[in-house]
Structures are given as C-alpha cells and as structure tokens.
Structure 1
Amino acid sequence: MTTAAEVFEHPALTSAAAALVTLRSAAGRIGAPDPVAALRHLDCAPASIRASAATVDAGALVVTAAQAEFRGGVERAETGGSAETFGTWADTVDSQYTEAARTAAETAALGVRIAALLDEMAMSAAAEVTELATAVEPSVAAVLTGDRSAEVVSAVSSACTAVIRTVQAKMAVLSALAAELEPLTAPAVDLS
C-alpha cells in the first residue's frame, strides 16, 4: 500500500513525516495515535514570517523618512505665523511618527526572532521524532507483518505517544510566544 507523501509548510516536518510513514501504518493497525497527524500542530512557515518582518522593517524606514520630511517642513513653517500653536501640533504629530517607526522596527525584530524560533523548533522536533521512529523500526516491521505480541505493540504505541509528547512540548513554546505577540494586537499609534 503506497500512501501519498505528506507535505508540510516546513521542509523538516515533511522529511520527518516521511520517516514516520511506517510507524503511522503500524499505529493504524494497533489503534495507536497517528504520529504524522501530531506533527501538523507544529507546521509553520518561518520564511514567510521573515518576509513579513522585512516588509514591516521597510515600512519603518518609510515612516522614518516621512518623519524627517515632516520635521523639515515644520521647521520651515515655524518661522512665521502662529509658531507656538503650530509647533505644539507639529510636536504631537512628530512624536506619533517616532512611535510608529519605533513600533514597526520592534515588530520586525520580533518577527525575525519568532521565525528563527519556529524554524529551530520545527527542525528539532523533526530530528527527535525521526529518532523515535528509527528506534522502533524492528517493532514496526513486526506489527506490519502481523505480530501482535505485547512487546512489539507496546513499543509502537510508546513511540507514537513519545511523538505526541514531543509535539506537545514544542507547542508549549508556541504558547509562550503568544504573550510576546499580545502588544501587536493594539494600534501602534492613536491618531485621534
């Protein structure tokens, strides 16, 4: 029986899924959890996050350039008319530019850090689960040939459980990231 290759966003997880194919088949025969399905919870695309972070960083540079242009115009405008009222308004807008540029730069840096963390997490999970599958290959082969002895069934079931525990441990890292992302849910600057 040939199954279609599992494709993940992260290539290391695609490779790990390929290494888990026979463990998955054995798990299906004994009613153990699907180790490949567990990997789906870790799928990520760090390259896309890095690209988004680069776009945000480029946006920060545009805001900084706009702020400099605005500040130059303010300085020219303050030399005549009601400079005091205009200066107060201009300082407020200027500080909004500064805050927007700072927030965008921080967001970009966080995106780069998160992408690196997700990449590392996916690669380490892939290595760990591949090692788990390799360790039980003899028991997997035995189950696939019809052996239902307690020893081989237990080994396959334990490997599937270990894959799930590995995924759960990595997911705990993702939960910790949620707290860092919380500030990004609020507007960077209140323009009212």
Structure 2
Amino acid sequence: MTIEVFEHPALSSAAAQLSALRAAAGRLGVPDPVAALRHLDCSPASISASASAVDTGALGMTAAQEEFRAGVDRAETGGSSEAFGTWADTVDGQYGAAARAAASTAALGVRIAAALDELAKSAAAEVCSLAEAASAAVDAVLAGDRSAEVVSEVSAACTAVLRTVSAKVAALTGLAAELEPLTTPAVQLS
C-alpha cells in the first residue's frame, strides 16, 4: 500500500483513512477518492510564513519612509528649494503607498492561509465521515462481494468524496478574486 503525502497534514491523514475506500474503488473501477484530495492540497504554513516576511518588509519600508521624511524635513528647514520639497513629498507618498500595499498583502496572505487551512480541514473531516459511513460496504467489496448493494454504496461514497472536494474547490473562487489586485503594481515609481 502506498502512503500518500500531502502538503496539508489533515489531507495526509484523510488519505490514510480513505485507503480502504480507495482500494475498493480501484477494484470497482470508480473514481479514486484520494486523488480527488490533491485538488485541495495546500500549505497554509508556507503561505503564513510568506505573509510574515512581507509584513516584515512593510515594517522596513515604513522605517525607511520615516528616515526619509526626517531627512527631507532637515533639508527643507535648511532652506532647500520648493522643487526639492515637492519631489520629496512624491517619494514620501510612494514609500507610504508601498508600505500600505505590503501590509495589505501580508494581511491577505494570512486570511488566505487561514481559509485554505479551514477548507482542507473541513474537507478532510467530511470525506473521512463519508468513508466511515461506507466502511461495511468497502470491507465487503475488498472481501470479494460484488452485489449491487455494496457496489452502489462504495460508488456513491466515492462520488460523494468527489462532490465534497469539488464544492471546496469552488469555494476557492472568492480567494482568487481577492488575489486579483496583486496582479497590478501597487506603486508606480516616478
């Protein structure tokens, strides 16, 4: 028996719990319930780590903006020209926009990681429940029973797993829409 490894631990656990259903599905030629889980595999911990790195970058950008603003204030107090002040205000605004965009991106990463984690965990729980409900029929198929009743129950369980995964994948559409703003540069540098 092959052990399936997923990025998300709940899906790895679910795959292990679906192994008998998978074996029965293979004997009956119905869709592989474990393969369906691949469509939800994710690593919320990696996304959270990336979001944290972006947030750290945002803090660095804010600190750089503060240092820049302090330098501009010193330069303007020293009698610098008005043109320098206008240019400095533009650059200062760009620093601020970049820092806000980075902080917003980090917050979005945290939300997406949490949503993916919840989707994976809830899918794992649901599919394990489906497999458990069909365990008697699965055992019967694995023992050689091909009666219409047990074949139908195993097939229905596999189909229900696929529907559950499909519903969870469909829920990702909202997350994809949240990522759309990230496809355009947050700041246009002058």
Query: Normalization by structure 2: what TM-score?
Result: 0.98
Secondary structure of 1:71's counterpart equals: helix
Q: Following the alignment from structure 1 to structure 2, what is the Cα–Cα distance between the partners of residues 35 and 109?
A: 34
Correspondences of 1:146-185 after superposition (within 5 Å): 146-185=144-183
In the other structure, the counterpart of 2:6 is 8
Identify the residue that residue 59 of structure 1 maps to in structure 2.
Answer: 57
Partner of 1:99: 97
CA RMSD of aligned residues (A): 0.9
Give me the whole-angstrom Cα distance separating, in 2, the residues matched to 1:115 and 1:7.
19
Distance 1:185 1:174 in 2: 17
Residues of 2 paired with 1:11 and 1:73: CA distance? 50
Taking the TM superposition and a 5 Å limit, the aligned residue runs for 1:8-157 are: 8-157=6-155
For 1:27 and 1:136, how far apart are their aligned partners in 2?
12
TM-score (norm 1): 0.97
SS at match of 1:78: helix
Distance 1:123 1:108 in 2: 23
Distance 1:83 1:10 in 2: 58
- Distance in 2 of aligned mates of 1:6 and 1:176: 28
Segments of 4+ moved more than 4 angstroms = none
Mapped partners of 1:80, 1:46: distance in 2: 51
Q: C-alpha displacement at 1:81, in angstroms? A: 4.9
Question: In the TM superposition, what is the alpha-carbon distance from 1:4 to its structure 2 partner?
Answer: 1.9
In the TM superposition, residue 83 of structure 1 has moved relative to its aligned partner by: 2.4
- In the alignment of these two chains, the number of paired residues is 190
Q: Structure 1: which 5+ runs fail to align?
A: none
